[in-house]
Amino acid sequence: MSQLGYRLHQMVNDTHRESSFSTRATRSKVLNLAAKQLLKNGYRLRDPSGLKTKHVNYLVHRWQDEGLAAKTI
């Protein structure tokens, strides 16, 4: 797990205690996947506060290229 993925995982588990375990686990998996995809493309983020519009745009374009539906994204 990348440092960004780890910090996102901590954020999900620390700040969203009212959510069920399975909801938090699913959120953590999706965020970790996004962190891995950013790292693979060369974005070396360490903290969620470093996420910018260009990172989100990259992920959205990548997911659209993979054929994911708008509802899924």
In this structure, is residue 53 part of a structural domain? yes
Model pLDDT, residue 23: 86
Per-residue pLDDT of the chain (73 residues; tens, 9 = 90+): 788 888 888 888 887 677 788 888 888 888 899 999 999 999 888 888 888 999 999 999 999 999 989 898 8
Report the domain count for the chain.
Answer: 1
Side chain identity, residue 38: L
Model pLDDT, residue 16: 67
In this structure, is residue 71 part of a structural domain? no
0.75 exceeded by the pTM?
Answer: yes
Domain containing 56: what range?
Answer: 3-65
What is the 3 state secondary structure string of 5-72?
HHHHHHHHHHHCCCCCHHHHHHHHHHHHHHHHHHHHCCCCCCCHHHCCHHHHHHHHHHHHHCCCCCCC
